[in-house]
């Protein structure tokens, strides 16, 4: 065990971060959600006889995924170790706790570890008589070309996707219908992220990746996965244009008159000041194309420790998604009045 | 003296040695993963092996199958992530192939490795050449099938050499899975961290059997 703490993390034990942040998260819910089993969190007072929405993933990216448990959001979450998918028995305990006889939708980001562990968890749940459907979030445009969308990672788009699926879970009666809507939300969501500085691994304090001081990693993943290339440091307006170019070049048709949710996310330490300056740069470019922002989110929700960088997510709304979007929701990670 | 066959208690002792070797190799495995991924492979494996030792020591081992599957279940539950699912599946599926066996010999080694790697390939979708742990597991399983008729000490020596060669071959590969895949050709020259773990485990088997 390393005692060094070069990242100056304010923690107790570098090997206990996942458990301790989880205990803190449960406290932050003020009794609205409870701990289940090893490391699952589940909302209290769920609607009876309804299909359930379960999210989950590795810890260390707070407030996602477990901070998206809430009213009008996810019913529960299975929480892994730092940067590691939750094991199958945690997925099972969470699935059992959220299931109300109508089955459970597993909704999570496309990472090999998550897919394997949630799949094993689904097999264990099936053994217990619980029906499971899975929708995998893969919104990261720069991680694979449109023809290989199944290889794309899940990034910041998971926030609006979970919001829409959470609203659907409040209204629909069947698991099939919940899965259909969640899949549609995924199909209509695209994200491009950039990185300027790595985060650190809590257990070691070492950086998650290396990046020179004078460059930006365009399309870089939230763990530092290589994107489409390095570009020299530039202004916020230039960067906003480059990110939007990559979004427009993808296969989500964005036409004049389309309405979107526009989500400007900080990957951790990038300041609200910069997010707002980027938003100011992006708005006229969207306007010029006739794209209408139905709602803007400027926040710090999908993070990787003190990693610096931003992502833009676009969610194209049709009548059904817009109606679900407009419902209120309340969670530690995202609240909409 | 080299052991011709292993009893269930010897299998348990061999597995505990493998766990201890992984725990000791944590810095090397973490560095191997930092070269290609996010650097947490060694710590995950250490966590899994500490849980496995605890479970193995908690009760009398019922059977050879149970000794292997106990390691698999402990790794899967305590690690999470891709490594937990993969190595958990390796030990669990491999163990199932030893159902009813009362002595572990070269044929048992071959059966364990074949079932283990088949389970891993089915779960994760990786094939040989993708720069994953399969690049060490599959050559090990193939060699074990070849030498299944030999004595256990001779067989495990040949299997350990094949495992090491498989891990070394992964250096030249471009990753198709995990975080390393986003590095493209930049990952050439480094072995896969999961393959390094397989080598540590099989070397421990060899040292236990041959000693």
The tokens describing B26, both together, are 């944590």
- When CB atoms are compared, the residue of A120, A208, A225 closest to B85 is A120
**Pairing state of beta strands A104-109 and A259-266?**
unpaired
Helix, strand, coil percentages in chain A from 3-state DSSP, rounded to 5: 35, 25, 40
Is A1 part of any domain? no
One domain for residues A183 and A217: no
- When CB atoms are compared, the residue of A87, A112, A223 closest to B80 is A87
SS3 assignment, position B97: coil
Is A337 part of any domain? no
Catalytic residue positions of A, numbered: 61, 223
One domain for residues A207 and A103: no
- Cβ–Cβ below 8 Å for B124 and A203: no
> How far B57 CA lies from chain A's nearest CA (Å)?
21
Does pLDDT of A5 surpass 90?
Answer: no
Domain, as residue range, for A280: 189-324
| Cα–Cα dist B80/A183, whole Å | 26
Is A332 part of any domain? no
One domain for residues A161 and A279: no
- Contact criterion met (CB below 8 Å) for B55 and B73: yes
Is A335 part of any domain? no
**Residue A62: per-residue pLDDT:** 98
Chain B CB within 8 Å of residue A276 CB: no
Chain A CB within 8 Å of residue B124 CB: yes
Q: Residue B179: closest CA among chain A residues belongs to which residue?
A: A225
Predicted TM-score of the model (pTM): 0.91
CB pairs under 8 A between A and B: 92
Q: Residue A143: closest CA among chain B residues belongs to which residue?
A: B182
Residues of A in Cβ contact (< 8 Å) with B124 = 112, 116
Residues of B in Cβ contact (< 8 Å) with A204 = 30, 39, 43
Residues of A in Cβ contact (< 8 Å) with B78 = 87
Task: Read off the pLDDT of each residue in A248-254 and give the average, rounded to a whole number.
Answer: 96
pLDDT confidence bin for A2, thresholds 50/70/90 = very low
DSSP annotation string for A132-188: EEEEEE--BGGGS-GGGGGGPPP-TTHHHHHHHHHHHHHH---HHHHHHHHHHHHHT
**Residue A3: per-residue pLDDT:** 57
| Cα–Cα dist A38/A29, whole Å | 17
Q: Residue A144: closest CA among chain B residues belongs to which residue?
A: B182
Is A6 part of any domain? no
What is the C-alpha end-to-end distance of chain B, expressed in Å? Answer: 6
One domain for residues A68 and A22: yes
Which one is predicted more confidently, A83 or A164? Answer: A164
One domain for residues A259 and A294: yes
- Cβ–Cβ below 8 Å for A85 and B82: yes
pLDDT confidence bin for A207, thresholds 50/70/90 = confident
One domain for residues A133 and A245: no
Does pLDDT of A206 surpass 90?
Answer: no
Is A4 part of any domain? no
**Residue A162: per-residue pLDDT:** 98
Task: Kindly report the average pLDDT of chain A as a whole number.
Answer: 95
Residue where a domain stops, chosen among A171, A187, A203: A187
Residues of B in Cβ contact (< 8 Å) with A22 = none
Answer whether the bond into residue A63 is a cis peptide, omega within 30°. Answer: yes
**Residue A293: per-residue pLDDT:** 98
Does domain B8-210 fall under CATH 1.25.40.340? My reply is: yes
- Cβ–Cβ below 8 Å for A81 and B79: yes
pLDDT confidence bin for A133, thresholds 50/70/90 = very high
One domain for residues A121 and A44: yes
Mutate which: A81, A82, A121, vs B, most B CBs within 10 A: A81
Q: Residue B176: closest CA among chain A residues belongs to which residue?
A: A151
- When CB atoms are compared, the residue of B39, B43, B82 closest to A113 is B82
Instruction: Give A23-64 pLDDT, tens digit per residue.
Output: 999 999 999 999 999 999 999 999 999 999 999 999 999 999
- Cβ–Cβ below 8 Å for B76 and A82: no
Residue where a domain stops, chosen among A138, A168, A187: A187
Is A48 part of any domain? yes
**Residue A1: per-residue pLDDT:** 44
Does pLDDT of A4 surpass 70?
Answer: no
> How far A257 CA lies from chain B's nearest CA (Å)?
36
**Residue B3: per-residue pLDDT:** 92
Each residue's pLDDT expressed in tens, for chain B with a length of 211 residues: 899 999 999 999 999 999 999 999 999 998 888 788 777 788 899 999 999 999 999 989 999 999 999 999 999 999 989 999 999 999 999 999 999 999 999 999 999 999 999 999 999 999 999 999 999 999 999 999 999 999 999 999 999 999 999 999 999 998 887 767 767 788 899 999 999 999 999 999 999 999 8
Global ipTM: 0.83
* CATH number of the domain encompassing residue A130: 3.40.50.10440
**Residue A113: per-residue pLDDT:** 93
Q: Residue B80: closest CA among chain A residues belongs to which residue?
A: A87
- When CB atoms are compared, the residue of B38, B123, B182 closest to A116 is B123
One domain for residues A223 and A285: yes
* CATH number of the domain encompassing residue A285: 3.30.1180.20
- Cβ–Cβ below 8 Å for A221 and B182: yes
User: Total structural domains in chain A?
Assistant: 2
Chain B CB within 8 Å of residue A58 CB: yes
SS3 assignment, position B54: helix
Residues of B in Cβ contact (< 8 Å) with A206 = 34, 39
Task: Read off the pLDDT of each residue in A106-110 and give the average, rounded to a whole number.
Answer: 97
Mutate which: A4, A89, A116, vs B, most B CBs within 10 A: A116
- Contact criterion met (CB below 8 Å) for B6 and B14: yes
């Amino acid at each position: 065990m390393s005692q060094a703490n070069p990242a100056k993390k304010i923690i107790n034990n570098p090997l206990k971060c996942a458990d301790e942040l989880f205990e803190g998260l449960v406290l932050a819910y003020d009794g609205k959600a409870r701990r289940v089993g090893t490391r699952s969190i589940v909302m209290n007072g769920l609607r009876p006889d309804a299909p359930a929405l379960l999210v989950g993933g590795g810890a260390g990216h707070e407030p996602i995924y477990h901070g998206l448990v809430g009213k009008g959001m996810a019913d529960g979450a299975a929480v892994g170790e730092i940067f590691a998918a939750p094991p199958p028995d945690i997925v099972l305990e969470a699935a059992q706790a959220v299931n109300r006889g109508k089955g459970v939708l597993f909704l999570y980001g496309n990472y090999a570890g998550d897919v394997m562990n949630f799949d094993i968890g689904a097999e264990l749940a099936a053994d217990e008589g619980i029906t499971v459907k899975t929708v995998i979030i893969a919104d990261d445009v720069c991680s694979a070309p449109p023809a290989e969308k199944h290889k794309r990672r899940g990034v910041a788009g998971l926030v609006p996707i979970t919001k829409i699926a959470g609203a659907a879970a409040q209204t629909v009666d069947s698991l099939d219908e919940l899965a259909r809507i969640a899949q549609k939300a995924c199909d209509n969501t695209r994200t491009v992220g950039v990185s300027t500085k790595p985060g650190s691994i809590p257990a070691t304090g070492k950086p998650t990746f290396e990046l020179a001081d004078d460059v930006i990693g365009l399309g870089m993943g939230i763990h530092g996965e290589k994107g489409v290339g390095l570009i020299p440091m530039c202004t916020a307006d230039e960067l906003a244009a480059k990110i939007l170019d990559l979004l427009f070049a993808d296969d989500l048709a964005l036409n004049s008159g389309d309405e979107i949710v526009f989500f400007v996310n900080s990957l951790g330490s990038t300041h609200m000041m910069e997010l707002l300056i980027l938003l100011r740069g992006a708005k006229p470019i969207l306007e010029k194309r006739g794209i209408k922002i139905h709602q803007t989110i400027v926040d710090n929700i999908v993070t990787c420790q003190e990693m610096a960088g931003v992502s833009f997510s676009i969610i194209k709304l049709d009548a059904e998604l817009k109606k679900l979007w407009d419902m209120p929701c309340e969670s530690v990670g995202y609240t909409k009045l | 003296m080299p052991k011709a066959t292993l009893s269930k208690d010897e299998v348990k002792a061999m597995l505990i040695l493998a766990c201890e070797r992984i725990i000791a190799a944590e810095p090397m495995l973490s560095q191997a993963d930092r070269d290609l991924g996010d650097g947490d492979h060694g710590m995950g494996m250490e966590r899994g092996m500490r849980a496995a030792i605890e479970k193995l020591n908690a009760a009398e081992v019922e059977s050879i199958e149970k000794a292997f599957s106990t390691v698999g279940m402990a790794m899967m539950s305590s690690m999470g992530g891709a490594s937990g699912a993969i190595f958990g599946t390796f030990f669990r599926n491999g163990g199932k192939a030893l159902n009813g066996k009362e002595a572990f010999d070269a044929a048992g080694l071959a059966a364990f490795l074949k079932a283990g790697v088949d389970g891993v390939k089915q779960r994760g979708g990786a094939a040989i050449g993708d720069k994953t742990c399969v690049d060490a597991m599959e050559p090990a399983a193939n060699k074990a099938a070849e030498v299944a008729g030999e004595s256990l000490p001779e067989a495990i020596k040949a299997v350990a050499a094949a495992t090491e060669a498989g891990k070394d071959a992964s250096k030249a590969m471009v990753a198709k899975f995990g975080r390393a895949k986003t590095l493209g050709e930049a990952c050439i020259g480094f072995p896969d961290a999961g393959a390094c773990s397989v080598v540590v485990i099989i070397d421990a088997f060899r040292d236990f059997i041959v000693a």
